[in-house]
Amino acid sequence: DTEVTQTPKHLVMGMTNKKSLKCEQHMGHRAMYWYKQKAKKPPELMFVYSYEKLSINESVPSRFSPECPNSSLLNLHLHALQPEDSALYLCASSQGRGGGVTGELFFGEGSRLTVL
């Protein structure tokens, strides 16, 4: 199983809502990532978890709150978002902190978020 599964695929929320994005992998990977991708732009790193501990936060606003309940799961809790937060949110995983032999990240298909 080389899949990273993200749910939901699409999410529409108001600025006062609280919602969560979920990500799951069963490859035994110990590093998990959240990226944000706006239209026609490259993915931008948001957070990195290594061995279930937050190791990188790229100065992301606190309205985005990551959580790693166990080594297979990664959540992104959303609260009081702005319309400019509308984007494709990509989850990825890799073998351990060093990315394995190749540094390869395995990406999910993404959750497309629209904030009204």
Partner 1 sequence: GEDVEQSLFLSVREGDSSVINCTYTDSSSTYLYWYKQEPGAGLQLLTYIFSNMDMKQDQRLTVLLNKKDKHLSLRIADTQTGDSAIYFCAGGSGGSYIPTFGRGTSLIVHP
Q: Which is nearer to partner 1, 68 or 90 (CB)?
A: 90
Q: Which is nearer to partner 1, 82 or 114 (CB)?
A: 114
Q: Which is nearer to partner 1, 16 or 102 (CB)?
A: 102
Cβ at position 66, least distance to partner 1 in Å: 15
Cα separation of 109 and 87, whole Å? 13
What residue ranges bind partner 1 (CB under 8 A)?
Answer: 4, 33, 40-45, 48, 56, 90, 92, 94, 98-99, 102-110
Q: Give the CA dihedral 91, 73, 77, 66, nearest 10 degrees.
A: -80
Cβ at position 106, least distance to partner 1 in Å: 8
Closest CA to 88 of 54, 112, 106: 112
Cβ at position 109, least distance to partner 1 in Å: 5
Cβ at position 41, least distance to partner 1 in Å: 7
